[in-house]
Amino acid sequence: MTDLADRRDAETEVYQPAEDSHLLADAAIADLQAHPPSLALEVGTGSGYVAQRVADETGARVLGSDLNPHACAQTRERGVEAVRADLLEPFRSGVFEAVLFNAPYLPTDPDDERDDWMEVALSGGEDGREVIEPFLGSVGRVLAPEGAVYLLVSSLTGVDEVVELAAAEGFSAVALRDESFPFETLTVLKLVR
Ligand SMILES: C[S@@+](CC[C@H](N)C(=O)[O-])C[C@H]1O[C@@H](n2cnc3c(N)ncnc32)[C@H](O)[C@@H]1O
């Protein structure tokens, strides 16, 4: 495969920065600027846009991770370290002062599921929370004691339901920012223990 073909693959198979990416980056950076983390993780980094902004604007070392190998390649092209990983699986315990995730959140009928990387980027399963739920179940393990999670959710995903799932894992939640669009409202939740 040529370099050009590789580049086309990366563009069509990797989620590119959109309103949700900008909202997550803006909210997390504003919150982190007072006390920048020394080490942060962006789960599901996609193009690496959010990770790069957090690194550039807070001075933190930010690691990106993604299930999608094309996303890891595109993130590394930006000069951001990237690890291919399923959620938090390979990471050491208690090391990240901030973890960010713009999760796949769209409720999707199983009959409409496609077998491609864009589906992995967008689909949150039938209730929209099929990736968020295991993330919430495991993110506490990798967080440093005073660490915080920045999670982008949508009214389509059920913000109250996500807050309840987080509470069951020992987190309290505050909404840092909201932005409304014709079919959904996006919210950035900050979760702390
Ligand atoms: C909505 S996109 C967000 C991309 C990027 N962070 C942004 O805001 O522009 C969700 C990303 O999560 C990744 N993802 C989905 N399931 C994952 C999993 N189990 N572990 C790691 N990454 C995952 C997808 O490949 C995709 O890149």
Cα of 126 from ligand 1 centre, angstroms: 17
Euclidean distance between the first and final Cα of the chain, in Å? 47
Nearest protein CA to atom 7 of ligand 1, as residue? 21
C-alpha neighbours within 13 Å on the C-beta side of residue 28: 36
Nearest CA to ligand 1 atom 6: 45
Q: pTM (2 decimals)?
A: 0.95
Residue 132: CB partners within 8 Å, gap ≥ 6? 101, 103, 105, 124, 151, 153, 157, 162, 165
Three-state secondary structure call for residue 11: helix
CA of 86 to the centre of ligand 1 (A): 10
Q: Which residues contact 179 (CB under 8 A, 6 or more apart)?
A: 19, 23, 185, 186
- pLDDT bracket for residue 1 (50, 70, 90): very low
**How many Å apart are CA 180 and CA 145, to the nearest integer?**
33
Per-residue model confidence as pLDDT tens digits over 110-134: 877 778 999 999 999 999 999 999 9
Average pLDDT, integer, range 4-29: 84
Distance 102 CA to ligand 1 centre (A): 7
Q: Which atom of ligand 1 is nearest to the CA of 18?
A: 9
Q: In the predicted model, what is the mean pLDDT of residues 164-173? A: 98
Q: Checking phi first, is residue 88 left (phi over 0); if not, alpha (psi -120 to 50) or beta?
A: alpha
- Mutation choice for ligand 1 from 15, 49, 78, 133, CB with most ligand atoms inside 8 A: 15
Closest ligand 1 atom number to CA of residue 105:
1
Between 140 and 109, the higher pLDDT residue: 140
Residue type, 21: S
Q: Output the CA–CA distances (angstroms, integers) from residue 137 to 77, 122, 161, 185, in the order listed.
A: 31, 20, 14, 24
pLDDT (tens digit per residue) in 17-57:
999 999 999 999 999 999 999 999 999 999 999 999 999 99
Contact between 60 and 51 (Cβ < 8 Å): no
Domains (ranges, CATH) in the chain?
A: 4-187 (3.40.50.150)
- Other beta carbons within 10 Å of 58: 21
Q: 104 C-alpha to center of ligand 1: Å?
A: 6
